[in-house]
Amino acid sequence: MVGVLPNVLATRTIAVQLVTTENIASVGFATEHCRLVPLVVYSVGAAVLGVLLTRWQLYDRGPTMSEPALAADGLGKSFSGDAVFDKLDLTVDSGEVVVLLGPNGTGKSVLASCLAGGLSPSEGTVEVSGDEPATIPGTTSFLLQDALCLNRLTGRENITFYDQPNPSFTDRWRTLVETFGIDDQLDDRADQYSGGMRRKLELAISLSVETPLYILDEPTAALDLTMVREVHHQLSKLRDRGKASS
């Protein structure tokens, strides 16, 4: 098995289609480096659209909280009358790692955007630690694939761009850029970065926000296997602090 999280344990299968619970670990998650795991969510879990969905836990579960990190009730999203998903109920506790598996076009990124407050759902509600993510800044750190870096800015300027308006932004990026091996390229423009370097910069920015929930759309896309493992390690450190991820 290659490309798996260390000591991964499936804590609860919410919805499984096409493959069995046993096959998910060997067929689905093992091939994350081949882009078959497009969305990782700390503290999120749900059954939606026939998307393959299962909950995963790194080591032991984080500290229990009376209020869930993420709660969605009756969530639905439509475009021009065409439903992407509907009647989605979702509750995730702090310290949970949730992975959504599914083919392209099944609405995973749309769901992530609704959970993060980037898109308004057509129906239903979303709460992060009891607040609506669209109305309360700092409730969620959302990494949407290929949508974070500004090409005309250097890597360092991109970090400053996201740092200045966000009171929840920390200096964690300094360690992360070094860990990800892009500290020597921070003064280069982002349009000169390879796909992997852009992803590392985006991850460094997203994971530097101090927030109860991290929603990461294809967090290891364009990364080699060694760096995939390092990203998993960084996510496990957040989990150990009681953070939630999708």
How does pLDDT run across 47-98, given as a tens digit for each residue?
333 333 334 333 334 444 467 888 999 999 999 999 998 898 888 788 887 7
Closest CA to 139 of 115, 120, 112: 115
State the pLDDT confidence band at 24, using cuts at 50, 70 and 90: very low
Domain 8-139+213-245 has CATH 3.40.50: yes
What is the percent of the chain where pLDDT is above 90? 41
Tell me the average pLDDT across 228-235: 92
Tell me the average pLDDT across 229-244: 86
Specify the pLDDT at position 66. Answer: 60
Rounded to an integer, what distance in angstroms lies between the CA atom of residue 241 and that of residue 218? 22
Beta bridge partners of 15: 53
- Under 8 Å between Cβ of 16 and 24: yes
pTM here is 0.74
Rounded to an integer, what distance in angstroms lies between the CA atom of residue 243 and that of residue 122? 28
Where does the chain hold its CATH 3.40.50 domain(s)?
Answer: 8-139+213-245
Tell me the average pLDDT across 148-163: 96
Closest CA to 246 of 7, 25, 50, 14: 14
Tell me the average pLDDT across 168-192: 97
Evaluate if residue 44 carries a pLDDT over 60. no
